[in-house]
Structure 1
Amino acid sequence: MAPLEDLERIYPIIDSDFRMFCASHGIFTDEDFLLHDLSALEAFAAPEKLKQGIKQIISIMESRQRPWLNGLELLEDAQLNKCTLSTGCERIDVLLQGGLREGHVTELVGPSCSGKTQVCLKAASHVARNSLGKVVYFDTGNSFSPKRIAQFLSLSSDASTAEFNKTVERVMRSIVCHSVFDIFTLLDMLRQLINNLKSQIDFQVRMLIIDSLSSLIAPVLGGGGAHGHALMVTAGFLLKEIAHEFNVCVVVTNHMVAGEAGISKPALGESWKSIPHVRLLLSKKYSTNGTCITILKHPYLVGISSSRLLTLGMLFIHCITVSLTTRY
């Protein structure tokens, strides 16, 4: 995050007039800029020079990448930080050799009703119940279900009614759910979360879930404009920062769109594909009333054959179809 005045030395178009225009809209850094709707800003940016300044900052945000790390730094980070969190689903944990990894961004991609939200809810309930930390859940489509969380807890509990109710209350207090309906609000809340983690206000956060991320990003990508792409890159950058700097397990969901020859493919395009560390494809198998989970991308499991993954995925879903697919 760079103050706009620091950018003037490299980009003269970001001069005092442009900074005054930005300040009048509460924009003081390059990331503040991306929390605003571009069309609304351009409506106020009457002089062509102001519009050129807006395009210049978009270009800066598009080209931003994490600093390079040498091999030793990467090895030390992998050895120190990357613990796994169980999802509460034995077959998923077997598939991923332990579960979801802290410090990584994991993407669940698949068509509607393939089980993405159910996996998110199951993982949230299990982490909140068994780890000393919070789960932050950004709900973009009113899919978060406290009743479903309670049902997952009941499936693995043999405690008395009073003890079970205490467990449910404790778990619910550990899951912080926010409704988010546009990309600008999401970026604002991610920055707020980073500030809280830095100041140790929310230093016990173990997992961040965004269900679904693509529903917020896809609308701003329409038309192939640079602004939408910059917003997507910024969201990815912030998610990776949260995962890496604060050792948080980040889970996002993504939907499918029609590709060439009508073949479905993950939404958000090729640029997004490089952002998640792990990509899991969930596909519905109506013949077995279940879902197949396949690893599309994983930094540590590249040696596992696709046929093995298919078998594990189908076994997992076959065993827990009822607990994942029941809806309210």
Structure 2
Amino acid sequence: LLSALQELRDRLSQQVVSSMGPLKLVVLDSVSAVIYPLLGGRQSEGLALMMQLSRELKTLAREFSLAVVVTNQVTRDSSTGPLKPALGRSWSFVPSTRVLLESREGAGREAPHRAASLAKSPRQPTGIQVELDIGNGDVLEP
């Protein structure tokens, strides 16, 4: 992953503005799926890798004026406990903005229905929530 980010950095450094314009968004889906297999019980090495990854992504964002979207799974301590980031408390300090997407199942709905809530933001109040219908490539507010 880190070598892929270095390759991306090299390509961005040589990027020529085309008719499509420069790259402005990097998506890493899912960061926990990439990092978990590397942990293998080595907690301190895993934490160091997570922090190195976060530094690399933030540097790319700053140097090339990119938006970086990283998805992370959520987990609970029990079946009724609150949702929390799968990569734990350390990763929760990394993003400047965090959006929680939740599936909302309901009878009579043709497309997957989601709720997006703002969990962390430097510019907006948290707790803002919007309902979304996702289907056939469209995202619509119901």
Q: CA deviation at 1:260?
A: 5.0
**Residue in structure 1 matched with residue 47 of structure 2 by the alignment:** 229
Distance 1:297 1:324, change over 3 A: farther
The one-letter code of the counterpart of 1:228 is G
Where do residues 225-264 of structure 1 align in structure 2 (5 Å cutoff)?
Answer: 225-259=43-77, 262-263=80-81, 264=83
**Equivalents in 2 of 1:202, 1:209: separation in Å?**
21
* TM-score normalised according to structure 2 size: 0.78
**Equivalents in 1 of 2:52, 2:6: separation in Å?**
11
Distance 1:220 1:206, change over 3 A: same
Distance 1:291 1:324, change over 3 A: farther
Deviation sequence 1:80-121 (CA, Å, 0-9, x none): xxxxxxxxxxxxxxxxxxxxxxxxxxxxxxxxxxxxxxxxxx
Greater C-alpha radius of gyration: 1
The one-letter code of the counterpart of 2:36 is A
**Equivalents in 1 of 2:41, 2:47: separation in Å?**
10
Supply the RMSD in Å over aligned alpha carbons.
Answer: 2.3
Structure 2 residue 27 is matched with structure 1 residue 212? no
Moved over 4 A (4+): none
8 A contact 1:280–1:295 mirrored in 2: yes
Q: CA deviation at 1:228?
A: 1.2
The correspondence for 1:287, drawn from 102, 106, 112, is 106
Distance 1:272 1:260, change over 3 A: same
Greater share of residues in helix: 1
The one-letter code of the counterpart of 1:197 is L
Q: CA deviation at 1:216?
A: 0.3
Unmatched 5+ residue regions in structure 2? none
**Higher normalized contact order (CA 8 Å, seq sep 6+, divided by chain length):** 1
**Equivalents in 1 of 2:137, 2:76: separation in Å?**
26
Greater share of residues in strand: 2
The one-letter code of the counterpart of 2:52 is T
Q: What is the aligned-residue identity percentage?
A: 32
Distance 1:193 1:322, change over 3 A: closer
